[in-house]
Structure 1
Amino acid sequence: MSFDRKKFSITKNYIQKGPARSGQAIQTVAFIVAHDTGNPGSTASGNRDYFNYTQPSASAHTFIDDGTIMEMIPLREKAWHVRYNVKTDNQRFGKDANHAAIGVELCYGGNIDFKEAYKRYVWYHAYLCKKFGLNPQTDIVAHATLDPSRRTDPHNALNQYGIAFDDFIRDVTRELKEIPAKNKENNSVQEVPTDVKQIRIKDVKEIRIEGLHTYGSPNWEDKTGPIVEENYIFTVKRKLIVDDYPMYQLISGWYITAAEKYVEIYKKGK
């Protein structure tokens, strides 16, 4: 089944140019930053009007509540949704978030029906992944991850309703592929030729802090394998494409991402 682009409508009501909207272009959309407003009860249209008329030196591309997905800055323009003097975005993605990422805000609390808002929030992240060729497993990051000393979003909102950030990423992945939540055998797996014999886990800050998941089966949701650390070397049994994303099966029986962002080909003496 293919992604349903028409499941929800998107309202495009762009704010005027000013401190909140510079009009500067994003050259390449490389990832998505998931936010919440931190302002319970504020709506998508209310936030749009605030940024339009108040013009603070901050913004996001899209605000989502229980009835509206509001794009207030064009997706090919920069928005100011992550502080410049934090470096996690550069370390993790090689780019500054304001120059290469879409910022998406979840409206919650007050009279907002969270269930309906969350459905739209999940769908819209899947829509962006489809539109820009992104992998929700690796290319959606929480604002709190990029600026942990100051921000707790979107965990702040999600956790109030019993949803962990990993749950959210799984929901986006299901939405993108339309895999029924109770049918994990329904994913797409294809073996592809490879000359790779061994791989090494890259020494990047994200892995040094959190480690890298391995999987018990060729399924991105099956995070039952051990978490591995940077510079570990593994022998490859075969290469797969799992739901359109590359994965290695290791000789140990575990599975691991084949994304070049996290693993590299290893040859002795190099």
Structure 2
Amino acid sequence: MLPIQFYPIFHNHNKGTNNPKYIVVHDTGNPNAGAINHWKYFGGGNRNASAHYFVDNENIIQIIKDSDSAWHCGDGKGKYGITNNNSLSIEICLTGSLEKSISNAKDLVEHLMSKHGIPIENIVRHYDASRKTCPRSMSGNDWKRWTIFKSELAKVSPSIPKPNKSSNPNIEFRVQVGAYSKRENALDMVSRLKAAGFDAIIKTN
């Protein structure tokens, strides 16, 4: 699996309101922009829409914390039980190799299923949340690509464990976000992480 690159944005989401029970797969519908382009776009101001993750053939970029609600399936108004407040959203970008982007998205879905204990039946399309034809790139031939995508996930889902809480509350697990050769770049990332609600420190070797 490609590493998840976290670049938090300050717009287009609600903080601390998400309890992930579903993973909703979309595609961007834009053949001219990859994951980095979409991070810059949604981080640039109020867009009235967003997603947690953008995936292309080279990158997996997260712009919103899993515990925050992205604005990605509100068009369904909760009619089908899937909402912005109970789901994670993955946008597949249409630049480069689509098959590679879909493969990278599958890897990410497997990771998030394991992380949050989400069952295979709760891996859904935007279509399942609102009846919008999305991800359109998987909709041809009666959703053939989607059927293959789900069948490949089903092969690994029985071995995906439920997330375990540490039995020792005094243990801390630290996560490194990046390594930088220039201090000002490290300070910039710390500022962005703190603005997104994370505790962040700089450590040197």
Contact 2:76 / 2:130 at 8 angstroms: preserved in 1?
no
Q: What do residues 193-240 of structure 1 show as CA deviations (whole Å, max 9, x unaligned)?
A: xxxxxxxxxxxxxxxxxxxxxxxxxxxxxxxxxxxxxxxxxxxxxxxx
Q: Secondary structure at the match of 1:123?
A: helix
1:54/1:160 CA distance change after superposition, 3 Å = farther
Q: Shift of the alpha carbon at 1:85?
A: 5.3
Q: Which has the higher contact order (CA 8 A, sep 6+)?
A: 2
Structure 2 residues not aligned, in runs of 5+: 162-205
Structure 1 vs Structure 2: percent identity of aligned residues?
22
How many residues are matched?
A: 160
Q: What do residues 44-82 of structure 1 show as CA deviations (whole Å, max 9, x unaligned)?
A: 010010000032111110000000001000111111101
Q: What do residues 153-172 of structure 1 show as CA deviations (whole Å, max 9, x unaligned)?
A: 11x11246984322111122
The reply to whether residue 122 of structure 1 matches residue 103 of structure 2 is: no
The reply to whether residue 61 of structure 1 matches residue 52 of structure 2 is: yes
Q: Shift of the alpha carbon at 1:127?
A: 0.7
TM-score, scaled relative to structure 1: 0.54
1:85/1:65 CA distance change after superposition, 3 Å = closer
Structure-1 separation of matches of 2:74 and 2:109 = 21
The answer to which structure has the higher strand fraction is 1
Structure 2 residue identity aligned to 1:36: D
Q: Secondary structure at the match of 2:36?
A: helix
2:123 corresponds to? 140
Choose which of 152, 159, 165 in structure 2 pairs with 1:171.
Answer: 152
Q: Secondary structure at the match of 1:54?
A: coil
Choose which of 65, 70, 89 in structure 2 pairs with 1:79.
Answer: 70
Choose which of 131, 138, 142 in structure 2 pairs with 1:158.
Answer: 138
Choose which of 61, 69, 75 in structure 2 pairs with 1:70.
Answer: 61
Q: Shift of the alpha carbon at 1:13?
A: 0.6
Q: Secondary structure at the match of 2:127?
A: helix
CA RMSD of aligned residues (A): 2.3
Structure-2 separation of matches of 1:165 and 1:118 = 10
Structure possessing the higher radius of gyration over alpha carbons: 1
Structure-1 separation of matches of 2:32 and 2:90 = 17
Structure 1 residue identity aligned to 2:94: Y
The reply to whether residue 131 of structure 1 matches residue 112 of structure 2 is: no
1:14 corresponds to? 8
Contact 2:6 / 2:63 at 8 angstroms: preserved in 1?
yes
Structure 2 residue identity aligned to 1:22: N
Choose which of 87, 107, 126 in structure 2 pairs with 1:101.
Answer: 87
Contact 1:66 / 1:116 at 8 angstroms: preserved in 2?
yes
Q: Secondary structure at the match of 2:70?
A: coil
Structure-2 separation of matches of 1:164 and 1:115 = 10
The reply to whether residue 36 of structure 1 matches residue 17 of structure 2 is: no
Q: Shift of the alpha carbon at 1:244?
A: 7.0
Structure 1 residues not aligned, in runs of 5+: 1-6, 91-95, 178-241, 246-270
